[in-house]
Structure 1
Amino acid sequence: MGEPDQPSTARMIDFWLGGAHHFPVDVAAAGAFEQAYGPCAPVFRELREFLGRTVRAMAAHGVDGFLVFGAGVPTMGNVHEVATDATVLYTDVDPVTIRLGQSILAGSDRAGYGFGDATDIGTIDPAQLHRFVPGWGRRPVGVVFLGLAAFLDDATLTRTLDELYAGAAPGSLLAVDFDTEELAGHPQALAMMGPQFRMRPPAAFAPLLGRWAPTADGIVPVAQWRPEGPPAQVPDAFHGVLATRGGD
């Protein structure tokens, strides 16, 4: 795979997490963003810790199949590295990220990587879905939806989460995060996020979940979601929630 000429958010996050799957163009973009905002590594490490805690919570509920949207680079504590007995289908829309993920997971029989647009579950290869999330639609599964809500308008996000609710079996669990208005005070950094990026006030988060019901933990800053010890002191950039699909 040749070196890309455009940075990728997925590979920038890999850089911030201390991973090995990024290029000089990603490091340069990460540096430019940090000049406009400040240190990002602690923020994204805490978001990855939130992912790990929610995945462990889902596994404790008996979930052994995960469907991951906007998956990015499948290392540094990503789902199959946390739920070591589960099968996982990672999906993304960026072809470079997909190829990178496929090369990383080439030797795995538990985790696969393919194209998947979160706003249209029909874009996922059915063979991959049945292989890596064999209980989809029939028994509880885990859905990971991180890093996506900020790039969908309210109508698209609520429709997407409702379609996932309709497709998943009762008892399924959803991990989702929302971007706060943290970047409002950093206009240069906000401009780098592009015109699709949407910050939201925390009061707006719960209605977007639709029929998904938050666990008793609620929708809280990710560092405060079932912390293992004192919550990390990081900027309040993301709120996260684990939500359940009830029986209809």
Structure 2
Amino acid sequence: MAQPDRPSTARMIDHWLGGRHHHPVDVAAAAAFEAAYGPCAAIFRSLRDFLGRAVRAVAAEGVDGFLVFGAGVPTCGNVHEVAPDATVLYTDVDPDTVRLGQRLLAGSDRAGYGYGDAADLGTVDPAQLHRFVPGWGRRPVGVVFLGLAAFLDDDTLARTLDELYAAAAPGSWLAIDFDSEELAGHPEALAMMGPEFRMRAPEEFAPLLGRWRPSHDGIVPVARWRPVGEPAPVPDAFYGALASRSAD
């Protein structure tokens, strides 16, 4: 297999999480970002731990089907690994990431991977959705929306979350994160994120959820969302929440 000539955010995160599905170009890009910012591995491991705790909380509510947007590499504690009794459809917009995910999950009958744009639910393959998230729209599911809010403007994000709310059945849950203003003090790292990257102050997060209702935990730094023991000592780069869809 030819080595890629451009880094992938998904593979860079795999590197930071201690995974095996990345290439030298990804490691070099990760090192450059670390030089401009700092403790990326600890921060992304804290975010992955938040994902695990949120998914287990949703599974404890009896939910056994998950739709994941911006899924990245489906390893290192991703959804099907922390909720092994659930079925999961991972989606991403990057073709290389989708192909990697499909290769890694080729032997699974409980987890699949396909193209899906979070801002356009219609891009998700209906056959895959029916297979891996059975009962979509009719029974409660878990929607995972991590690493995406920072790349959507306020109007697009609010519309997208409202469309997901309308499409999901009552009793469904949304796991979401927001990027704080942490990178404001690191202009070189901020420039690496590109012009679409949006930082938001914590007070801006809740209104964007629209009809989704955060759990009693609120929207808090991910390390402090239902921590097991002492929260990880990482910067508050990501805030997270688990929000529910009520009956209309």
Structure 2 residue 143 is the aligned partner of structure 1 residue 156: no
SS in 1 for 2:80: helix
Alignment of 1:69-80 (within 5 A): 69-80=69-80
Match of 1:189 in 2: 189
Distance 1:194 1:4 in 2: 20
Matches within 5 A, 1:33-44: 33-44=33-44
| Structure 2 residue 33 is matched with structure 1 residue 22 | no
How far apart, in 2, do the equivalents of 1:2 and 1:222 lie?
37
How large is the RMSD of aligned CA atoms in angstroms? 0.5
Letter in 1 for 2:17: L
Q: Superposed, which structure 2 residues align to 1:101-120 within 5 Å? A: 101-120=101-120
In the alignment, which residue of structure 1 is the partner of 2:133?
133
Q: 1:135 Cα shift? A: 1.5
Unaligned runs of 5+ in 1: none
The residue that corresponds to 1:68 in the other structure is 68
**Alignment of structure 1 residues 1-248 onto 2, 5 Å:** 1-248=1-248
Q: Which ranges in structure 2 are unaligned for 5 or more consecutive residues? A: none
TM-score (norm. length: structure 2): 0.99
* Corresponding letter in the other structure for 1:219: I
Distance 2:16 2:235 in 1: 15
Counterpart amino acid of 2:57? Answer: A
> What is the alpha-carbon distance in structure 1 between the residues aligned to residue 4 and residue 67 of structure 2?
27
Separation in structure 2 between the aligned mates of residue 147 and residue 2 of structure 1, nearest angstrom: 27
Output the CA distance in 2 between the equivalents of 1:182 and 1:111. 34
Secondary structure at the aligned position of 2:99 is classed as: helix
Find runs of 4+ consecutive structure 1 residues off by over 3 angstroms.
Answer: none
TM-score (norm 1): 0.99
The sequence identity of aligned pairs, in percent, is: 81
CA distance in 1, matches of 2:78, 2:4: 23
Partner Cα separation in structure 2 for residue 21 and residue 55 of structure 1: 23
Describe the SS at the equivalent of 1:68.
Answer: strand
The separation in 2 between residues aligned to 1:212 and 1:166, in whole angstroms, is 10
CA apart distance, 1:156 = 0.1
